[in-house]
Structure 1
Amino acid sequence: MAENNPFPTEKEVTEQKIKRRTFLAFTVFTVAGLGSIGIWKAFRTLPKSKNGLAAPSRQVLAFNEKVNTILFSDQHLAPTYPIEAAARKPRVNGRVGLSKNFDSVNWQLQVNEPGKSQSLSIPLDDIKRLPKTELIFDFKCIEGWNQIVHYGGVKFSDFLQAYQLGTQSGKPLLAAQPKDWYPYVGLETPDRGYYVGLDMPSVLHPQTLLCYEMNREDLSLKHGAPLRLIIPTKYGVKSLKRIGTLFFSLTQPRDYWHERGYIYDSSL
């Protein structure tokens, strides 16, 4: 009959350690998993904002937006690239607001100002007579992809200056104080299916364009013809295709993706 060894071998000690560590790891993993499920369920029960996003998440996004607003500067420019770097066949992404029954021949940009009963209708040829600006930059999508693109059009600020728009007094922008500016600008597609809101400093940024060309050719319908917004300091969700109506506001205009949980500012 073999004697019991009061001193375990090194192999037995190692096996015991492995069993203890395995049990401990399994226990910790189980507790952490159950805790995560509990936290997730508790998070799901928190009060919701208007767009269905949990209130704490919306509060964090609102705080981030305030920080972006404080740090915003028209001296901060998106990097630009040589024309050779631009994609020859730019990616098409997003078709919301691009209805198939669109009348491109008779299109005119509709501009609405508070207190005025009639819209200002501006044909594309008139917009093309304004000083042209070309921009080659890295278009960044909130989905995670990016592509260098080449657009041409008129600076939004030049457009507002030419038509004496954007101020509550009716003075030209360059002659007015910032407190006289309308704080917000809204843009909508002709079918009102897609819409964005912008603060006036972002509108007046020197790289914010109303574009009618891509790669020095007229925009195609799938890329937002006859006129679209390009704003390189923000994610592509703000660069609305096929502008139908432009309007000024004292409060934040509605914004398609903000209503679906994204940050209103969408700055890079």
Structure 2
Amino acid sequence: MRLTENHVTDENLYLNRRQFVKGMTATGLIGIPFIANALDFSKNQNYQEKLKLTDPEHALHYNNFYELGTSKEDPFRNADKLKTDGWQVVIEGECAKPQTFDMDDLLKLEQEERIYRFRCVEGWSMVVPWIGFPLSKLLSKVEPNSKAKYVEFISIEDPNLPGQRFRVLDWPYREGLRMDEAMHPLTFMATGIYGESLPNQNGAPIRLVVPWKYGFKSSKSIVKIRLVEKQPLSSWMVATPSEYGFYSNVNPNVSHPRWSQAKERPLGSFFKKKTLMFNGYENEVASLYKGMDLKKNF
């Protein structure tokens, strides 16, 4: 990942991100219910790229989270409808030790901050400092067996969520990864963002982040993880199979039927920039797809 001067974050903005977010709260730009407590975390220096961070005002207000509504503003507006008290994540399937984890259990895993690029198939992008832990740490606790070839992620299903009153998708939201993708060091379970606990509109209390894939691959508000032998169907593959494939890798050379992927617009900018192969993580992940036709396996 070769970076240029225009990627470098202003030092003061980066170090004062918590004060910035809290200042926005005080002025009413961010609703108080949606900013949670600060987390205890370390900064993993291997993932502290000098990228220009997206302004929290954009990253916390411009979201795709269809459980809370289909417009970009709906997740923030309806965030209080998502109830996260007593949250649990069940891990089951092809493993020796299936378990149910409370959020307290998950937060006891060492939390670290990683700065990642995030790219939506719709053509917009952002750079945010996630807090959480590698998915591999969690999966290792249940000891996957030799039949575990894929990992399926299942999100919350609640008829009280405004977006789930309509059959925009076949709820609950489902996504999947190949096992080697899931165990890759970049694959991350996020519990926070910008130094704070994950707000509801961004997928509280825990979500997946796979930075070399389009954003819809990174499931929000996860309640179940299943280790399976056969490739699972994701929600968008079921809804529109001609537009969405299983892999969903960021590839500027493969256009979505409705959106070119050659360029992207960073949130907060009027100008587009060139989209990077694998969203800039080609050196780290290209070997996972050696010999594959990345146009056919989109």
Structures share fold, TM-score greater than 0.5: yes
Q: State the alpha-carbon separation in 1 of the partners of residues 95 and 139 from structure 2.
A: 18
Offset of residue 115 of structure 1: 8.5
Q: 1:164 aligns with which of 132, 135, 142?
A: 142
Q: State the alpha-carbon separation in 1 of the partners of residues 177 and 202 from structure 2.
A: 20
Q: Hey, what does 2:195 align to over in structure 1?
A: 216
Q: Do the aligned partners of 1:86 and 1:136 also contact (CA within 8 Å) in 2? A: no
CA displacement, residues 200-234 of structure 1 (integer Å, 9 cap, x when unaligned): 11101111111100011011111000000000011
Q: Hey, what does 2:214 align to over in structure 1?
A: 235
Identity among equivalent positions (%) equals 27
Q: 1:185 aligns with which of 151, 161, 166?
A: 151
Q: Go from structure 1 to structure 2 and tell me whether the alpha carbon gap of 1:126 and 1:83 turns closer, same or farther (over 3 Å shift).
A: farther
Q: Go from structure 1 to structure 2 and tell me whether the alpha carbon gap of 1:211 and 1:130 turns closer, same or farther (over 3 Å shift).
A: same
RMSD of the TM alignment (CA)? 2.6
Is 2:93 aligned against 1:123? no
Q: State the alpha-carbon separation in 1 of the partners of residues 48 and 119 from structure 2.
A: 13
Is 2:186 aligned against 1:204? no
Q: 1:81 aligns with which of 6, 29, 49?
A: 49
Q: Go from structure 1 to structure 2 and tell me whether the alpha carbon gap of 1:115 and 1:146 turns closer, same or farther (over 3 Å shift).
A: closer
Q: State the alpha-carbon separation in 2 of the partners of residues 131 and 107 from structure 1.
A: 19
Q: State the alpha-carbon separation in 2 of the partners of residues 84 and 144 from structure 1.
A: 18
Q: Hey, what does 1:109 align to over in structure 2?
A: 89
* Structure whose CA Rg is larger: 1
Q: Hey, what does 1:153 align to over in structure 2?
A: 132
Unaligned runs of 5+ in 2: 1-46, 70-77, 158-170, 251-298
Q: State the alpha-carbon separation in 1 of the partners of residues 214 and 107 from structure 2.
A: 26
Q: State the alpha-carbon separation in 2 of the partners of residues 146 and 109 from structure 1.
A: 28
CA displacement, residues 157-180 of structure 1 (integer Å, 9 cap, x when unaligned): 11122x133x22xxxxxxxxxxx2
Q: Do the aligned partners of 1:150 and 1:214 also contact (CA within 8 Å) in 2? A: yes
3-state DSSP of counterpart to 2:153: strand
Unaligned runs of 5+ in 1: 1-78, 169-179
Aligned residues: 177
TM-score, normalised by the number of residues in structure 2: 0.54
Give the helix-richer structure, 1 or 2: 1
TM-score, normalised by the number of residues in structure 1: 0.60
